[in-house]
Amino acid sequence: MDGSDAVIHAAGAVRGSSRESFDRINVAGTAHVVSALQSRHPPPRLLLLSSLAAREPGLSWYAASKRAAEALLEAQPALDWLILRPPAVYGPGDREMLPLFQAMSRGIATVPGDASARTSLVHIDDLVEAIIACLQSEGTRHQTLTLCDGKGGGYDWREMADLAGEVWGRRVRLWQVPRWLLDCAAWVNVRSARLTGRAPMLTPPKLRELRHTDWVVDNRMITQLTGWNPGIGLRQGLQALRKAEL
């Protein structure tokens, strides 16, 4: 199996001011893809690029919509599907993690919750290689797989800040943003979105997601099934980001 007859579906809503705004793209969009594939004989493989957030669907509208999209595939045993749950993704083209690393390059790391919270990361280039490896492996059929850059136990905020400091040659201080300030900003975003129609990133449910203390995964299963291993650690990824600034 070479993965040439395959569909990669990355349900694309990451911003929204209501559960319905996420479901409209992440859930209904996935349902349309499933319906379209069912009309083909034989249907191609389907890789759903989900999110690690789906592991905790009660935290946010986004997480719940991602988990609901996964459930649609799980109810289709006749389809050849697999689900990939990446953690935070960074690298060329990224707009969500980039502001965080840009702030670190200027000497500050803005922490929305507990500084000891741990998260796994993956570089976009490694994610692309993992997608290819998954599509080429028959063993990934009906599997829900996680992946990361290989750092056991992920990173806490101090570790990320120290690595960024080494790359940019400066001390990076942690700034634990006051809880009340973020809460107020999130509620203002929701209310203004109802007037402007703009989809905000920071909302109360998103804050619950950002403040969650465990977004750590490992590569045990994906490596066992596909042989894939990551090639880009955070230091190397940050060095590439710094070169791109020059």
pLDDT tens, position by position, 60-79:
999 999 999 999 999 999 99
As a whole number of angstroms, the distance between CA 66 and CA 29 comes to: 11
* Length of the chain, in residues: 246
Query: Across the chain, what does the average pLDDT equal?
Result: 91
Which pLDDT tens digit goes with each residue over 2-12?
A: 555 788 877 66
Residue 13 has pLDDT above 70, yes or no: no
15 pLDDT tier (thresholds 50, 70, 90): low
Helix (H) or strand (E) holding 131: helix 124-135
Mean local confidence (pLDDT), 130-138: 96
Domain residue ranges of the chain, discontinuous segments joined by +: 6-245
Cβ–Cβ under 8 Å, residues 215 and 52: yes
Cβ–Cβ under 8 Å, residues 62 and 50: no
Domain 6-245 has CATH 3.40.50.720: yes
Main-chain dihedrals φ then ψ at residue 32, nearest 5 degrees: -65, -40
Closest CA to 44 of 73, 4, 75: 4
Supply the pLDDT for residue 60. 93
Percent of the chain with pLDDT over 90: 75
As a whole number of angstroms, the distance between CA 42 and CA 47 comes to: 16
**Going by C-beta distance under 8 Å and a sequence separation of 6 or more, which residues neighbour residue 159?**
none
As a whole number of angstroms, the distance between CA 83 and CA 81 comes to: 7
As a whole number of angstroms, the distance between CA 216 and CA 205 comes to: 20
Which pLDDT tens digit goes with each residue over 103-125?
A: 999 999 999 999 999 999 999 99
Other CB atoms within 10 Å distance of the CB of residue 176: 13
As a whole number of angstroms, the distance between CA 173 and CA 121 comes to: 20
Which pLDDT tens digit goes with each residue over 169-215?
A: 999 999 999 999 999 988 887 777 666 667 667 888 899 999 999 99
pTM of the model: 0.91
Which pLDDT tens digit goes with each residue over 30-56?
A: 999 999 998 888 889 999 999 999 999
